[in-house]
Amino acid sequence: MGCVTYRICGPQLGFLPLWQHRFPQQTRQRESQPSNWLSQPETFYWRVLLDGVTLNLEQVQLMRDAILFSGWVWETFNAPERFALALAHAGAKVLYCENPVSLFVRTGRKLEEVFPGIHAYGPEFLGHRLNVIPGMAHFQCKMLAAELAYLSTSLGLRDPLFVYPHLKNFTPLCRLMKHRGFPLIHLCIDYPEPYQEEQIALADRCLVIPPAVFRGLRERHGDKVFLVRQFYYAGQDRPLDQSSGIVMESLQAIPRPRLAYIGPASNRLDLPLIDELLRKHPEWQLITFGGDRCLSLPNVHVLPWINWQEIPAIVRSCDVGFMPYECATQKNLQCVPLKLFDYFAAGLPVVSTPISYVQAMNDLVYVGDSSSSLAVAIRNALAEPPNSPAKKRRKQIAQAHSIEEIAPDLGRIAGLDSHTSH
């Protein structure tokens, strides 16, 4: 059976020559205006099936595409970046937008395809600091909204969704994109910040990762709030490149046992607790990646951040996945760490302070809330047999959270399916 596909589209959106110098010329496809969430999209395919001498015409509804406005950059591989991978895996073309940079400081990323179906770029504007001037945040967001609409047209995005995590000072951008007709999807990856409530209220749908946060938001915002699983990309493993090889050499020079915190040390960690623990146990080596050294102890190490596709190789070279979060604040207590699933994918024993998400995983995560109880947890983790059933169970959980597993449901919940109504 042969198949010839024709694309029939609505009227082309206008574009803004102001930004043409930043983006390569592309073959432009005529594209429909973003449709109302409830309406049927104007764009569709007519598929011509040639089966012998029989000619059948079949109308096929399109999947929506997406614009994902992240507060990070692609290389951080945080939840928005993994969500972009899930959208692409579900069949969407994604315009991934990095955190805007001041045009007076440096140049933003040029538009490029960073992964099949994902086109990343770095917006430029006057600067974050200027948003304190009355009206400046709205002015800069208006510039960004027009630029996003132009790029949406340039890439031929189909009736795209606008997806965003918590973005301080960018609530006007959400409002402007909604006014332009883009359905809004808020990605709630953490305990909500005070300014985030308005961003959630604006959204057509809100996808929430922390279970405790989901319950509260569902009560306040109703059935537009959905609970989704944290994302693990099982296809990220690849051989180390030259720069990562240098990181691996540095890692191998650190004595065992190695306690890995995959990420930079931040104010989310309980540094006094870690300090007390490592002073009592100088034989245990804490390794963080990116940022600054968190403590001036000989058994605390910081290595450069690595490419996200090389995380598995680094994890396999460590002995314990360490998550020593400070649990006195709700933001830390209710977090669902991405690194947990990076550890689980390798079957690595995990030691954590008692964040809510791991408290029901007593057979898979060793938990302690003091230096003495954490020491017991680390000793138990290091003593775990190589053939422990817990290792297989951890890998199964990571697989259940993999983008490949959850992308179809995620696409349906987010509204990528053109048949989905709000």
The predicted-structure confidence for 377-389, as pLDDT tens digits, reads as follows 999 999 999 999 9
Q: Show the beta-strand stretches assigned E in 150-284.
A: 161-164, 184-188, 205-208, 225-227, 258-261
349 CB neighbour count, 10 Å cutoff: 25
Tell me what the pLDDT averaged over the chain comes to.
84
pLDDT in tens, 129-177: 888 888 888 999 999 999 999 999 999 999 999 999 998 889 999 999 9
In a domain, 320, yes or no: yes
**Contact (CB, 8 A) for 417 and 33:** no
Question: Do 216 and 309 sit in the same domain of this protein?
Answer: no
Reported as a single tens digit per residue, the pLDDT across 214-256 is 999 999 999 999 999 998 886 655 555 555 567 888 999 999 9
Asked whether residue 34 is assigned to any structural domain, the reply reads no
Same domain assignment for residues 115 and 165: yes
**Does residue 272 lie within any of the structural domains?**
yes
Q: Grade residue 418 by pLDDT with cuts at 50, 70 and 90.
A: low
pLDDT (tens digit per residue) in 52-65: 333 333 333 457 99
Q: Rounded mean pLDDT of 398-407?
A: 91
Q: Residue 44: is its pLDDT beyond 50? A: no
Q: What is the pLDDT of residue 247?
A: 82
Q: Are residues 94 and 168 in the same domain?
A: yes
Domain count for the chain? 2
Same domain, 275 and 377: yes
The answer to whether residues 295 and 408 belong to one domain is no
Helix axis angle, 338-345 to 389-400, nearest 10°:
130
Q: Is residue 21 part of a domain?
A: no
Residue 294 and residue 187 share a domain: no
Asked if the structure places residue 56 within a domain, the reply is: no
Rounded distance between C-alpha atoms, residue 13 and residue 180, angstroms = 11
Whether residues 292 and 206 share a domain: the answer is no
d(Cα 232, Cα 83) in Å, to the nearest integer?
9
Please report whether residue 50 resides in a domain: no
Domain range for 393 = 242-400
Lowest mean pLDDT among 27-36, 90-99, 191-200, 324-333: 27-36
Confidence of residue 118 (pLDDT cuts 50, 70, 90): very high
Q: Are 396 and 327 within one domain?
A: yes
My answer on whether 71 and 214 are in the same domain is yes
What's 391's domain CATH number? 3.40.50.2000
Looking at residue 235, its pLDDT comes to 66
Residue 111: closest CA among 74, 79, 145: 74
Is the per-residue pLDDT at 204 higher than 90?
yes
| 381, 363: one domain | yes
Residue 115 sits in the same domain as residue 260 = no
Report field, pTM of the whole predicted structure over 0.85: no
| Same-domain check for residues 78 and 169 | yes
Assess if residue 218 is contained within a domain.
Answer: yes
Q: Are strands 285-289 and 124-125 parallel, antiparallel or unpaired?
A: unpaired
Report d(CA 415, CA 282) in Å as an integer.
Answer: 52
Residue 7 domain-assigned (yes or no): no
